[in-house]
Amino acid sequence: MNIKDMFPSKYATGEDLGGKSRNVTISGVTTEKMRPNPQSPEVQKFVIYFQETKKGVVLSRTLARQIARIVGSDETDNWIGKKVMLYPESVTVAGVNRVAIRAKAA
């Protein structure tokens, strides 16, 4: 059994894209409480949701700036209904290789 099936994530990661780009329509941006790890206190993070997916994506500064540039607005309320293309990108965070979600014009 795959550990991703054993311990599913509430939020999407770049690995969920399976190496492919995907066009999506923004349905909203919310704030949600989460714990970066079990020993840390809860923090508020911004999460973006799409009409075509079940899982939201935790917004990084990079992803938020990319989407703002694509849709032409820094106001997240203006993002709703806009289409973007999500794609996976390999990044190194604190010395660990990960697959991040990035955005470009659909």
What pLDDT score does 94 carry?
85
> H or E stretch including 68?
helix 61-71
What pLDDT shows up at residue 56?
A: 97
Which residues have CB under 8 Å from 66's CB, separation 6+? Answer: 102, 103, 104
Q: Please, are residues 47 and 32 in contact by the beta-carbon 8 Å criterion?
A: yes
Provide the β-strand partners of residue 102. Answer: 87
Consecutive sets of 10 residues in the chain, 106 residues long: mean pLDDT of each?
83 93 98 89 96 96 98 97 97 91 96
Say how far apart CA 25 and CA 30 lie, in whole Å: 15
Give the C-alpha separation, 86 to 101, whole Å: 6
pTM of the complete model: 0.89
Give Cα separations from 29 to 20, 45, 67, 72, 97 (angstroms).
Answer: 23, 10, 12, 16, 27
